[in-house]
Amino acid sequence: MSQAPVLKASIHDVRYFSALLRGVNFANRATVTVTEKGLVVVVEESRTLLGTAYIFSDVFDEFIYHPDTAGDQASQQQQQQQQPPGEEIFSAFEIPLNTFLEILNGFGSAGGSASKKSGRFKAWRKPGDESEGHESDGNAGEGEGDQEGGNANKKARTGPFSSGSERKTGMRLTYIGSGYPLAMILAEDAFGPTMSCEIATFDAEPHLDLPFDSHQMVLKIIFKSSWLRDALSELDPSCDKLTFIGNPPDITDAGAQTARQRQRALLRAKPNFRIEATGTFGNTEMDYPNDREVLESFECISPVSFSYRFSHIARTMRALQTSVKTSLRIDNEGLLSLQFLMPSPMPRMNSGGVTSNFIEFRCLALDEEV
C-alpha cells in the first residue's frame, strides 16, 4: 500500500493505556474507532450493556492518524454514510481485546511489575479499599487481572515519576488500514527481547446504540469512585438484581425547630440515594446521605427506581477500581449511564487543561413488569 498507514502510535510505558483498556475488558470482541483525537474502544454484552473507553491521543507519545480516504470500499462507504459536513472522520475495526491486552502485558510489566506484585499491592492499598473481597469472587485469572488493575491504578495516581527503576514496556502500534492486522512492537529495554505481533482485525460490525437523552434525565449524581466501589464490593456475588433508588432532596426542614425534630424528620425522610441488591439469600440496602462529603452533586426531580442485572453492573468493577470520580445518570426510560473519570497519566497535566480519559458504561434497565 503506497498510502501512509491509517494509524501510527507509540507509547513508552503501556501501563496507563492497558489500565484503560482493562476497564472494558469484559467481552473479547471490541470495536476500536480511530479519530484525530484518539481512540474509542467499545465493548458490548447481551445487547444490554455497553462499555466505552475514551483514550485521547495525549496518552500516546506519538499519535498520527491518516484517514484512509483511498482505502477499500467498505470503509469508504462507511465514511460517506457517517460523514455529514462537520462530522469527524474516523476509521473503525474490531480486535480481540483480551488477546490484545494479554500480548500488551507480554513482559509482565504492563500491569505493574509482576515480580513484586503482591508485596507492592498491599503496600499501596488504602484503608477502606475493599477490592480484595471482589477479587476472590472471580476465578483465578480474573483475580489476577483485577490485582494488576489495582496496582496500575495506584501507580497512575502517584504518577510515573515516583516509580524510578521500574520495568516498563514500550510499544509501537501500526494499523495500515482496513483488512490489515494491527501490528505491534513491544520492548522492555534496548538489550532485552523485542516482541512483534500482528493481531487480526475484523470489519467493524454495527454495535448497540444506546443514546442517553440528557433532557430526559431523572437522576444525576457525581461522587468519588471509591464510594461506589466499596458499595459494590460489599455485595454478595450471588445477588442477581441491583436497584438504584433516588428521591428528591427534602426541603421540609423549615418546620423543624430543634435538633431532635430535625433528626426525626431525617429518619422519616426517604433516602436521597439508595442502592438495593436482591439475591437468593436476602436484600442489602445501602443509603448515601446527601452530604457534600459523599455526593458531590445530586440532582433528582421526582422519585426514581430502576433495576439492573447485578452481573452487568459488576462488569464495571475493573474500571471503577482505576477511576477517581464517577458520574451516575439515569434517564426516564431507565437507561443507566456510568462515567468513570480516569486519573490523568501525569499529575501535572491536570492543570494544563488536558482532556481526561474516561470510561463509560451504559446499561438498560430490567423490565419490572416481566
Partner 1 sequence: MRFRAGIENVTTFFRIMQSVEKLQKKCIIKFTEENMHVICNSDANEGGIQVWSQIKIDSIFNNYRIQSNSNNEITVNLTCEAIMGALRSVSTSSGVSNSASGSSYETDEVIVKLAKKNDQAVLNFEITGTTAGGRKVKIGHDVRIEVMKPVDVARLSEPMCPEPDIHVLLPSLQKMRTIVERLRTQSDLLAVRASHNGCLRLSINTESVKVDTDWKDCTIPQMMKEGASQDSADEPPPDPEQLFSVLVSVKSFLKFLSSHVVSTTTIACVCQNHCLILYVYIGDVADAGGVLTFYIPAIIDDE
Among 5, 67, 96, 237, binds partner 1 (CB under 8 A): 96
State yes or no: residue 192 binds partner 1 (CB under 8 A): yes
Q: How many CA atoms lie within 13 A of 211 on its CB side?
A: 3
**Cβ neighbours around 233 below 10 Å, total:** 20
Interacting stretch for partner 1, rule CB under 8 A, among 39-47, 76-84, 102-110, 274-282? 102-110
105 binds partner 1 (CB under 8 A): yes
Q: Which stretch binds partner 1 (CB under 8 A): 46-54, 101-109, 229-237, 256-264?
A: 101-109
- Listed in sequence order, the residues at least 6 apart from 141 whose beta carbon sits closer than 8 Å to its beta carbon are none
Distance from chain centroid for Cα 70: 34
Output the nine-digit C-alpha cell for 110.
504492563
Does residue 107 touch partner 1 according to CB under 8 A? yes
Around 238, how many Cα atoms within 13 Å sit in the side-chain half-sphere?
5
181 scored as a contact of partner 1 (CB under 8 A): yes
Contact 284, 343 (CB under 8 A): no
Exposure string (b/e) for 85-105, b if CB count within 10 Å is 16 or more? Answer: eeeeebbbbbbbbbebbebbb
Least gap, CB of 25 to partner 1 (angstroms)? 13
CB closer to partner 1 out of 199 and 286 = 199
Which range binds partner 1 by CB under 8 A, 48-56, 192-200, 221-229, 272-280? 192-200
Contact (CB, 8 A) for 323 and 361:
no
**Which of residues 108 and 179 has its CB atom nearest to partner 1 in the complex?**
108
Shortest approach of partner 1 to residue 309 CB, angstroms? 28
Only one of the segments 51-59, 104-112, 266-274, 357-365 lies at the binding site for partner 1 (rule: CB under 8 A); that segment is 104-112
Judged by CB, which is closer to partner 1: 69, or 196? 196
Closest by CA to 176, choosing from 99, 93, 106, 53, is: 93
- Please identify which residue in 1, 4, 200, 266 interacts with partner 1, judged by CB under 8 A: 200
Nearer to partner 1, 111 or 246 (CB): 111
196 part of the interface to partner 1, by CB under 8 A: yes
| C-alpha 187: how far from chain center | 27
User: Between 186 and 313, whose beta carbon lies closer to partner 1?
Assistant: 186
Q: Is 199 in the site for partner 1 (CB under 8 A)?
A: yes
Question: Is 114 an interacting residue with respect to partner 1 (CB under 8 A)?
Answer: yes
CB 132 within 8 A of CB 121: no
Q: Which stretch binds partner 1 (CB under 8 A): 194-202, 262-270, 273-281, 315-323?
A: 194-202
Q: Which of 119, 133, 193, 303 binds partner 1 (CB under 8 A)?
A: 193
Query: Which of these ranges, 53-61, 72-80, 100-108, 148-156, lies near partner 1 under the rule CB under 8 A?
Result: 100-108
Q: Which residues bind partner 1 (CB under 8 A)?
A: 96, 99, 102-103, 105-108, 114, 181, 192-200
